[in-house]
Each structure stands twice: as C-alpha cells, then as structure tokens.
Structure 1
Amino acid sequence: MSNQAQEAREALGARLRGFRKDAGFASGRAFALATGWQESKVSRIENGKQNASEDDIRVWCTTTNRSEQIEDLIATVRHIDELWLEWRRQLATGAEKRQQAAIPVYSKTKVFRIWHPTLVWGTLQTSEYAAETFKQVVNYYEIPDDTEAATAKRLERQQYLYRGDRIFNVLLGEQALYSNFGGKEVMKGQLDRLLSVMGLARMSLGIVPRSAPLRIWPGNSFSMFDDKLVLVETFSAEFSVTQPREIELYAKAFALLKQSAVYGTAVRDLIFAAIHHYDRMSTD
C-alpha cells in the first residue's frame, strides 16, 4: 500500500480510538465485548493494520454514540480504497480504457521522469512489442481481449514525444533490453526504436547497467508527471502518489538511480550488444 493510503488509514484508526475512549470504553477488549468482535480486530483497525469496512464504521459509530459521523467516515474509507486501485477493476472491460485514461495526463505534463528496470517504457514501444505486453495482460488478468485497440491507444501517446516543449527523462535497467517480448525480431525492432528516439531533442535516455554500483534498490517501475503525480505499478494494483512529501521521495529515488546510469555512446553500445545477442539466437 502507498504511504499516503497507509497514513490515511492510521489517521482513521486514531480517530476511531478517540471515539471509543470518549464513549467510556477504556480498552479494546471492552469495546470488543460490546460489539461482538475479536479484540484483535479492534486493535488492527485502531492501529491502521486493517481496513475498516463501511459496516465496521456503522457499528463503531453507533456503539460510541457518534452516528452523526457515519457518513463522513464512510467517505474517508472510500477515499482510502481509491488510493489503491485494483488492476482487475481498472481492466474490467479490457486494457484500452486504462490506456485512454493516461492521455490527458500526458497532454498536461511538461517534465517526465520514468523508471523501468525490466521492460521498455510504453511510450517508446513499437506496436509489435506493445501488443505482446498486452497479450500477457489479457491472459494474466483474464480480461476481454482488446489487444489491438489497447496497442493503438498506447501508441497514441507517442505524439507527445514530438509536440510542444516536453522533457523526457527516461531510465531503463539493462534487463529491459533483454526481457524477451515476442522473440528475436520483435526485440530487434524494439531495440532499433530505442536507437532512433535517442536522437530526439528533448529525450534523455539512460541505461542502468546490470553491474553498475547502485545508490538505491531498483524497486518497482514508476512514472513521474511533473511534481504532481507518480504512478507505481505492481502485479495486483496501480497506485497514485500525490502527496508532496511522497513525490519528493520518488524524485530523490530517480536522482539516485541516475547516478548509476550511462548515457550517449555507452547506451548505444549496450543496445548494440543486445541486438547482437538476438542476432545470435537461432530461434524465437
């Protein structure tokens, strides 16, 4: 869970603890007896270790004579849930809708900071490479197959590489050059694409070599949009970071990752080495 969501959950727990004590329940055990809950559940909710459900809020507020707070606290619970969006819910109708949602964010952003340790950033992908990633998304999440539409929508983001005065700071792990999506020909096409975008005026493409000394652990991929939003992807969910203090941590992480990166000719050498690797492959 993101720090922002966790902090909100802890704040809710502290507020509920205050309600309990104000109502005369000196201990979590006494409150558990009154509600028929396990004492451990009371403790987990109060300490932000467990999400309170909407029904939990109703019971808590009714038991502590704070019924007037039910509506407000249920809104708080729903807000916490929104900070952590399940992929299955986002992708319920296929992958295209999620790709469409990214376009307004891209159109407003002036400075991009992108970190992908194991695959090529979506906006730099070829159509063949993107299609292979979407096929995996469809199979993994068992969602409707709209690979073609999702790929087209992802490629639509590439217009922003050439329009306006946007700055793209992109870091890839060396593994991204070797993570095989679609076989040798697809990968060679994708690597050639990276060579071509390196020449764009406002594109800074760095690679963190696999043996480079690291100043911070690689962690998950993340995308920073100005200093306003960070999107972080995991297998189960994508979460949005908007709290300034948290965004500063991602900016710091990006700066530390940059210290391990190479640029220019060294990046070309790494890409050519990866192309040579695929040239030597006899089959896909």
Structure 2
Amino acid sequence: MSTDFQSSRVALGARLRELRTEAGLDGKGVAERLGWQRSKVSRLENGKQTPTVADLTAWAAAVGNPGCAGELKGRLTGMETQYRSWRRQLAGGHRARQELAIAETAATQTIRGLEIARIPGLFQTADYARHVFQANASFRQVTNDTEAAVRARIRRQEALYEPGRLFRFLVWESALHMRICPRDVHAGQLDRLLSLVGLDTVELGIIPLHADLRRTPAHGFWIYDQRLVIVETIGNEMWLEDTETIALYERAWEWLAESAVYGAAAQHLIGRARGSLDHA
C-alpha cells in the first residue's frame, strides 16, 4: 500500500475518532450503537482498515451528526479516486480497464512511459498480451476474460498510427529479457519492438544495464500530457493529478531519458536480446 494512501486513511480514522469523542463516546460505546465488534472501531480509527460508504453513514448517525456523512464520504471518494484497488477494477475481468485505457489515450496527445519489467501495453503483440492477462487473472483470482482484454489492448494501439500523437517510452534493458511467455512468443514480441523503432509517432529509448544513472528506475509509470500520472502497484493503481506530483514524475522521466539509447543503438540492444533466444 502506498504511503500517501495510508496517510489519507490514517487522517480519515483520526476524523472518525474526533467525531466520536465530540459525541462523548468511547470506543465501546460507539461499537455498541453500531452493532460492531470493538476491534473494527479500533481498526478504522487507527487507519488499519478502509471504511465503506455504509460504514461512514452509520458512523455519522451513531455519533449524532448525520450531516457529516457527506464530508466523510468525500474523503473516502478522494482516496479511492486517486488509489484504485485492482480488486475492484478487475472484479469483472480486464476488458473494462482496457476500455478505460483507450479513452485516456484518445484524450492525450503525448504519453511518456517507463517500464522496467515488461514491454509497454501499447507495444505488445496479441500473444504477449494474452500471457500477461492470463497470468494476472490467475494471480489476482479474477474473471478470466483474456480474449476480450487482448482485443481491447490491440484496439488501443491504433493510436500509434494517428498523426499528431507522440508516444515516448523508456524500457529498462532487463525487460527485454524477462521471460513471461514461451520463447517463440517472446521472440515475436521483440521483433515487434524492432519494427516500432523509427515510427514517427514513437520514441523508444532503451536504458542499458550498464548505463550511468542520475536516478534508479524504482517502478514503472505513465504520464498523460501534463495532466495525469498512472502508477501500478501490486494492490492499487494510483491516478495522480496534482501539479507537484506530475512535475516530480516528469523530472524522474527526464533524468532516466538521459541514460537511454535510441535508434540504431536501441535496435542493437533489442536485437541482442532477440538473438539470445536462439541460443537459450
């Protein structure tokens, strides 16, 4: 869980505690009014559990201040808008999230991205994407709608060929060697990357393993124009929109871009990874 998300949850818990004490109730008293275990009250107040909308509505009524329910729900909505759990987003499978990605891409002129462990979704072949979705569905134990998700991902890639768009991506060299699919599928994926180098809408930089770095690539992220940064964690997807955070990620991207190679040098690194498959 991200530190910012946890901080927001702790702040919400502190507000719940404040409302309780203002009502002259102790933890046991509010638990009895709500019909909850005392432990749930403690977890909510200490930021160890995320409340539901129903929890907040009930809390406001229990402390005799139903009018504060709107404030509490607003705090929760802000948390969930910025930090979207994968469990909720993928409850019905991956296709819906891919459709959302299509919409965000359509609304964006320039996307900058960094991937350190896999090929960016916009550049994936159908076979490579299929293995990504299947593995993720198994890991997260969600509905497996792989074929629908693959079709949506490939449909999103139509934007790569639209004049006026720009897709500036950095890929850590190690991602070229990460084997998350059979050898022939991986080979096809690297061939696909080679074909994208030189496309006028794509700027593909490979960060060599031996590169001198001003900053290490801590995790992948995507920047949509100058309005949105999306970061994936194991449990959540963060949608970050404040200008200070966006500027921070832009600086991280620019510093890493200084260490990347492009054009023929990038093709050489991709080709070397491709060649290693023939000798594996």
Normalised by the shorter chain, which TM-score bucket? 0.7 to 0.9
Deviations 1:115-146 (A, max 9, x none): 10011001111112112212212322233332
Question: Residue 9 of structure 1 corresponds to which residue in structure 2?
Answer: 9
CA–CA separation in structure 1 for the residues paired with 2:124 and 2:54: 45
Superposition deviation, residue 32 in structure 1:
3.2
Question: 2:222 aligns to what SS in structure 1?
Answer: strand
Map residues 1-284 of structure 1 onto 2, 5 A cutoff: 1-2=1-2, 5-6=5-6, 8-13=8-13, 15-16=15-16, 18-19=18-19, 22=22, 31-32=26-27, 34-35=29-30, 50-54=49-53, 57-58=56-57, 61-62=60-61, 64-281=63-280
SS of residue paired to 1:149? helix
Paired residues in the alignment total 275
Q: Which amino acid aligns with 2:93?
A: G
- Secondary structure of the residue aligned to 1:267 is helix
Q: Which amino acid aligns with 1:12?
A: L
- The one-letter code matched in structure 2 to 1:120 is I
Q: 1:234 Cα deviation (Å)?
A: 2.2
After TM superposition, the structure 1 stretch with the greater mean CA deviation from structure 2, 112-121 or 78-87, is 78-87
Structure 1 gap ranges (5+): none
TM-score (norm 1): 0.83
Q: Secondary structure at the match of 2:26?
A: helix
CA apart distance, 1:277? 0.3
Q: Which amino acid aligns with 1:32?
A: G
CA contact (8 A) 2:124 2:189 kept: yes
1:123 and 1:53, CA in 2 relative to 1: closer, same or farther beyond 3 A? Answer: closer
What TM-score, normalized to structure 2? 0.84
Cα deviation for residue 170 of structure 1 reads 0.2
Residues in 1 aligned to 2:44 and 2:144: alpha-carbon distance in whole angstroms:
39
Contact 1:4 1:243 in 2 (8 A): no
Deviations 1:75-126 (A, max 9, x none): 4324423432222322222222221121111011011111100110011111
Q: Using the TM superposition, name which of 44-53 and 198-207 deviates more.
A: 44-53
Mapped to 2, the partners of 1:145 and 1:3 lie a distance apart of: 31
Q: 1:87 to 1:66 in 2, by over 3 A?
A: same
CA distance in 1, matches of 2:58, 2:137: 40
Q: Distance in 2 between matches of 1:10 and 1:204?
A: 41
Asked if structure 2 preserves the Cα contact closer than 8 Å seen for 1:3 and 1:246, the reply is: no
CA contact (8 A) 1:4 1:246 kept: no
Measured against aligned partners, the alpha-carbon deviations of 1:10-59 in whole angstroms (never above 9, x if no partner) come to 55345445545655x6xxxx7335435869966x7567565345565456
Q: Structure 1's 96 and 60: CA in aligned 2 closer, same or farther, altered over 3 A?
A: closer
Per-residue deviation, 1:183: 2.3
Measured in 2, the distance between the counterparts of 1:192 and 1:41 equals 55
Deviation of the 1:4 alpha carbon: 5.5
The RMSD of aligned alpha carbons is 2.8
